[in-house]
Amino acid sequence: MAAFHFEIVSPEKLVFSGEVEAVVVPGTEGEFTVLKDHAPLISSLKPGVVVIEETPAKKLRLFVPGGFAEVATSGLTILANQAIDLADLDAAKIEAGIGSFEEEITRATSDEARRAAVEKRDQLQELRAVLKI
């Protein structure tokens, strides 16, 4: 298969940059696969897993809670709110994090603190749903 340039960027760092053969993207209108010479498009992302196929034998799977994807003649760029390698995830830690944020929500003394805790809890719940744990 022919390779093309792909980058995924989060606010903290450049998560991945390199030549790939295919990328599966969780678009809000549905999941789509980008290959070399894909038609240009821009899509918002829903919470889901980006599958990066560097070679048929080497795949990287990243959870993204949202963001944007742009396919251009130069390749594919994903701007993600966050990108978490699935290999780094632990179901027990996700469940503990959800419980911790539930407690934070009940203890919140301001609307802003409650909103922040709810947002973080919801992101972990989306991750749990995507991973089906």
Q: Output the domain CATH number for residue 53.
A: 2.60.15.10
Distance CA 34, CA 41 (A): 10
Q: Are residues 94 and 74 in the same domain?
A: no
Q: Are residues 53 and 95 in the same domain?
A: no
- Could you tell me which of 57, 61, 30 has the C-alpha nearest to residue 131? 61
Domain span including residue 114: 89-131
Q: Are residues 18 and 51 in the same domain?
A: yes
Distance CA 37, CA 24 (A): 15
Q: Are residues 21 and 64 in the same domain?
A: yes
State pLDDT tens for residues 71-94: 999 999 999 988 988 888 778 888
Q: Are residues 39 and 65 in the same domain?
A: yes
Residue 2 has pLDDT above 90, yes or no: no
